[in-house]
A and B are shown apart, each in its own frame.
Chain A
């Protein structure tokens, strides 16, 4: 127990050491590079994209991949490559914002539940269990159906659906940290609850939370794609990988590139985040090291 905390402390007191460790892990490096690629595409989309994403070109409908249209065109003659590049923006922003909402609220809930226990904990965890009991896609669809379809509402819906996972993760690690001697020490020194939570519990309960955030990003991106595929996510003509897949369904047999490329990018993004999350977990958890 003590030696474990000891090692975690050593690892995390040097942030650069953690990044280095991730880079030395081949999986970590792969995940890192995959995510870097997606981020670069999203950031420099206007420079990389070859055509206007909404530009309809009736003469080149359903064109196969070629020098002119790298990934082919869709049923409106829009360039799939350009749409995928801009779709990366949508995916990343939706992923980051919704995970931000989920992580932020989930962290506060988890912290309060883990630290104060008793009735506060019962009330919070009951609420979390209620949210958790719904299949996440169904709940997200329900929220969007109530709030109306828009990018912001999609992000809110995915955020709410993901709150319980964070609340549970944080509560568990807060409880573990709360029982340690250094928290008893902080109390005996005479610190206020706020200072104990902020300076002693939060930094020591952060590792599982960080891993969870990385993994939740891929989940959020997938949920957005699914919602858009079902028509309740990002609305046309905004390019989203999910809605592109949805539109492609009808043309799958005559224009398979309409399905293949968005699907490939979804897979690449999700795989990268998952791999990075796993590598991060290994790097933060000394028990898995030999």
Chain B
């Protein structure tokens, strides 16, 4: 048994593009291109990046909600990517997914009791009273009262819905969760509450978490390690503090410099990027970032930089930013 709970190795997820008269595959969208990272128990690991950079697909591929094309996902010594669906289904008791949008991810025809007892019924063979006990304990954790058990999702606010959604994911007592932008669909005023709840539950339940977000402030608040993704690949990964303090990858720096600051005294240098994100169905040769990078050389255009350890972090860049 290694010190890591989750070890993602060279994960690739491609989606076929069908076209033509016979609906043949005429190409692939390279949604996740060779992603590797490790997660220790009780650690919160964040995946950040712009929309469409493959962070959600990475999260879903890890949990086999989408079948990855290649690579290994070693969870607790077992390669999930190679297991048959039925065995993955049984493992879900230990690994869960928190959805982005609580308005659409809760079945409108099920009340709170049904939503929370269903995972228990699926994975445990518990007597009725024991299920009640667990559901009520979970309700207590998310700040609900038992009289709300028989209400339906539409009778709750967005923040309350997301609490229910989190409770549904955590009620089986998983060791690992992927939270896919769990606060981005919510009002800013509610986001903090939900984040605090997540942090508290993560500590109470000794959860390991992959936290997917495009909100860099949220990521700084919640995670100890971060991976910056661009066009399906990790550009830079390491301790959140280090990377925020001094990004070494030109893309990370551009991303971080775009964070608005509330301090008017602080003068920031903006590192705005030119151009658009390339089409993931036709990714550039060499480094995926080279068409937009100010430091790109012939080497970058020819050869894809590998993720190697530099400056106490993992970095995929031929010309990292020096001090």
Contact = CB atoms under 8 A, between A and B. Distances in A.
Partners in one complex: yes
Contacts of B154: 6, 9-10, 13
A118 to B, nearest CB: 12
B281 interface: no
B99 A184 contact: yes
B168 A182 contact: no
Interface in A179-227: 180-182, 184-192, 195, 199-200, 203-204
Contacts of B103: 2-3, 6
B321 interface: no
B24 interface: no
B106 A185 contact: yes
A247 B90 CA distance: 66
A195 B120 CA distance: 13
Q: Looking at chain A, what size class is its interface with the partner chain?
A: 20 to 34
Given A9-B152, A185-B99, A203 B104 contact: no
Nearest to B104: A181
A132 B97 CA distance: 42
Given A6-B154, A10-B154, A189 B104 contact: no
B90 A190 contact: yes
A264 B109 CA distance: 42
B297 interface: no
Contacts of B12: none
B122 interface: yes
Interface string A78-114: 0000000000000000000000000000000000000
B76 interface: no
A181 B106 CA distance: 8
Interface in A231-279: none
Q: Looking at chain B, what size class is its interface with the partner chain?
A: 20 to 34
B63 interface: yes
Given A5-B108, A184-B105, A190 B119 contact: yes
B168 A185 contact: yes
Interface in B84-131: 89-93, 96-97, 99, 101, 103-110, 118-119, 122-123
B68 interface: no
B122 A189 contact: yes
Contacts of A195: 122
B153 A188 contact: no
Given A6-B103, A10-B108, 16 more contacts: A2-B103, A5-B104, A6-B108, A13-B108, A13-B152, A181-B104, A181-B105, A184-B99, A187-B65, A188-B63, A188-B65, A189-B118, A190-B123, A191-B122, A199-B118, A204-B109
22 contacts: A6-B103, A9-B108, A9-B153, A10-B154, A13-B109, A181-B104, A182-B104, A182-B107, A185-B99, A185-B105, A185-B168, A187-B65, A188-B96, A188-B99, A190-B90, A190-B122, A190-B123, A199-B107, A199-B110, A199-B118, A204-B108, A204-B109
Interface pairs A-B: 5 shortest CB-CB: A9-B108, A190-B92, A181-B105, A188-B97, A181-B104
Interface of B: 63, 65, 89-93, 96-97, 99, 101, 103-110, 118-119, 122-123, 152-154, 165, 168-169
